[in-house]
Structure 1
């Protein structure tokens, strides 16, 4: 997850891509981009990989787009960015038990680390994704926290608010697991604030639910009801949020 929304000075094409992406229309957003350059090909691959993470579908489209991006990559930064996407897609496939690609994820992210220089704009996203692997595949919260903190600092330095919202969210999740409720509430609130300011609708419902986990009633119920409204508005995306949004006593499959 990276990107910073749009401003009045942005390229109209990128504005249109962002608006579609933020509303869970990844395929439509990708269709606006012609993979004639390494940058455009990589952006298409990134959009379609993000679709996999939110919908648990579209894996072949993402793989095809990624192969195109890899073929067009020429510089170390471009090859590193493509390797970072390769690692992220392999991570997502492992996370959702599509296929165990944990070794591929680690190898690809390691290759990206060798290609993307420290301090480069692409480094914070790489650090964040290495944190995801450490937290969810390796089960190493200490390593995950260190990676998230590096990503958090880098996202701040490079003015990447969407990535910053992700680092706030994941650092808060680790804090919540350790019983640090105040720290967790602050992190989740910052993540939600940024996503609302950017208009990143598809990421707002998960942020609302996470913040609700740190609140008392009636605020917790209000936040979850707002998350349900957005979840329905976006057609049941992200798919993995369904069970957490089911009212007590309701079968998640029919909620």
Structure 2
């Protein structure tokens, strides 16, 4: 099962205090609190979209909050004013539908593909949202379409775009998914390198909620006893965050390492 997070680069000392607070809450899995901080400004299209993105990410990690995410996304769609904003809202629509399908809530695969196709048509070639769109199209190709070649091409485009934009969190995701395809093909050195890069970037960002999955992915490519050590570290972090992401539980069970 593959998951990702919306793009971002963490925070720096010069960032807006509100965005710094949002990032700190988000990175610890407190999406509801982060979204609440944005609620007063949600009549602004960019803020409304960010709020919807946070609540959609919560769905991916907790398998809860679908109605609230849907409501926030409808608001963002309704007030989007230009093609970039409409494209970004369509990208989130596709991601929410993908999450619903992947987690077995409701099959919305056709909706996911249509929404991401709409985003691709709305975005200019150099639009800031295109790398994230490429990543999500790769996820659909890999996990809903069983097309690893198409997924790899999309992940590569996203990887290049994230590098050019300096989007560190998105880059950590592209490293991870490219490494997952390498592992599937038995390319252990390539997989190990990609998973290690993904973990390094998430640790540098302080993206705690995404660190346990990165540890488990790296463990899959490492020999013993390192693999057991990594899974134990992931288990401690998973428990610290209150069992989030929920779908990691099966990967952390004692039999999962066997």
TM-score, structure 1 normalization:
0.97
Aligned residue for 1:140? 147
CA distance in 1, matches of 2:125, 2:154: 13
Q: State how far apart, in whole Å, the 2-side matches of 1:6 and 1:156 are.
A: 17
Paired with 1:162 and 1:178, the residues of 2 have a C-alpha distance of: 25
- Deviation track 1:129-175 (CA, whole Å, cap 9, x = no partner) reads 00000000011000000000000000000110000000000000000
1:221-254 C-alpha deviation (Å, 9 max, x unpaired): 111110001000000000010011012399xxxx
Secondary structure of residue in 2 paired with 1:33 = helix
Change (3 A) 1:64 1:228: same
Query: Of residues 8, 26, 39 in structure 1, which corresponds to 2:31?
Result: 26
> Is the counterpart of residue 180 in structure 1 residue 180 in structure 2?
no
Counterpart mapping for 1:62-211 below 5 A = 62-211=69-218
Return the offset for 1:119. 1.6
1:230 equivalent in alignment to 2:240: no
CA distance in 2, matches of 1:133, 1:170: 12
1:98-153 Cα offsets, whole Å, 9 max, x none, are: 11100000000000000111121110000000000000001100000000000000
Aligned to 1:8: 13
Structure 2: gaps spanning 5 or more residues: 1-5
Task: Give aligned pairs, total.
Answer: 250
Q: Deviations over 1:12-70 (max 9, x none)?
A: 00000000000000000000003110000000000000000011111000000000000
Partner of 2:3: none
| Deviation by residue 1:56-102 (Cα, 9 ceiling, x = unmatched) | 11100000000000011010000000000000000000001111100
- The alignment partner of 1:213 has SS state of helix
1:173-197 Cα distance to aligned partner (Å, 9 max, x none): 0000000000000000000000000
Native 8 Å contact 2:250 2:256 kept in 1 = no
Listed as ranges, the gaps of 5+ residues in structure 1 are 251-255
Partner of 1:253: none
